Structure 1
């Protein structure tokens, strides 16, 4: 399994937060969506900490946006912290920064 296809790791770092680690790319975005979505669905999760994400592409960004949208549909608001610079730049280019606020 290549580095890009490796599963994303999601850890509880606080009662209200999860930390995402690893690569978040097209190769693993579908699995990452399920993993991150399940982690933030647990009671009280309000923060997604991306400090452990080492690389991301547009599919990784789309995955994050889908998790946020799913939470919003269930009436929950999530905050994204420590977004990697590359992902932040991609969000800016794609003009979706407001969706991550």
Structure 2
């Protein structure tokens, strides 16, 4: 897997897993693909981030946008296993509580 790639999978019907890079290079495609997955798999209640590699502020914005997208539909989405780098970005950005 290259540093500029991401992948989505469904390890369980209730989980959408994101792996690979979630950076400026991948954020737009990741957001679009993940929204499509979340809209077509309405039983997804968890966003598993355990497989993420490089994450930057665009990756954090992508995760927050996915949470807002699902919440706007009256659904809940729990973020599970966020990497330390993502948590650090969220903390310094003042948005850690949103995750």
Q: TM-score, normalised by structure 2?
A: 0.93
RMSD of aligned Cα (Å): 1.3
Q: Deviations over 1:32-76 (max 9, x none)?
A: 001112222212000000011011000000000000000010101
Aligned residues: 98
Structure 2 unmatched runs, 5+? none
Runs of 4+, deviation exceeding 6 Å: none
Q: For the Cα contact (< 8 Å) 1:4–1:27, is it kept in 2?
A: no
- Corresponding residue of 2:58: 59
Q: In structure 2, which of residues 11, 14, 17 is the aligned counterpart of residue 16 of structure 1?
A: 14
Deviates more, 1:57-66 or 1:33-42: 33-42
Counterparts of residues 1-101 of structure 1 (less than 5 Å): 3-6=2-5, 8-41=6-39, 42-100=41-99
Structure 1 unmatched runs, 5+? none
Q: TM-score, normalised by structure 1?
A: 0.91
